[in-house]
Amino acid sequence: MLTFATLIDRLAAAIGKAGALVLPLLVLTICINVLLRYVFNLGLIELEELQWHLNALTVMCCLAWAYQCDDHVRVDALHARFSSRKKDWVELLGVIFLLLPFTWLVAKNGWTIFSFSWAIKEGSPMPSGLPARYLVKGVMAAGFSLLVLQGIAIGLRALSRIVRSQ
């Protein structure tokens, strides 16, 4: 059980770190876009769409890793006062009843949307926009799927700690 959780952790961390490497390229793209728009009065749809795609890639790659590292939003005012055992129960129940149903639904529908987009070889509706919009939709579906897996890993770890503490 914990071996499976460790494998998921390694996968999420590797994908998250790779996604974080996209950030300098995203910042550079934004700087170039701002420079072109406000200094040279030249707006490029390609750069705007590239910003959107790079941002989606970074966020989707890093979601599961952020959850793994406990860098996500949490009600710390309550959580900080809980005992370790109570924290584990809250984590387990939160994963089962909140995280997994939502992320599973989003991932499942995301793969459906990606499949349709792939089938029609969807591109940008703008004449000078980027082709292959289906790729970013696939990244979004994959990012939520990885978050589902990371939720399972965190739930398994919480369950393991609960069982060991009894």
pLDDT tens digit sequence for 61-91: 999 999 999 888 776 777 778 899 999 999 9
Distance CA 8, CA 151 (A): 9
- List the domain boundaries for the chain: 2-164
Give just the sign of the alpha carbon dihedral 74, 75, 81, 85: negative
Distance CA 103, CA 6 (A): 20
- Within the chain, which residues score under 70 in pLDDT? 75
With a threshold of 0.85, does the pTM exceed it?
Answer: yes
What are the φ and ψ backbone dihedral angles of 69, each rounded to 5 degrees? -85, 5
Residue 35, CA distances (Å) to 53, 85, 130 in order:
19, 53, 20
Tokens coding 85: 């055992």
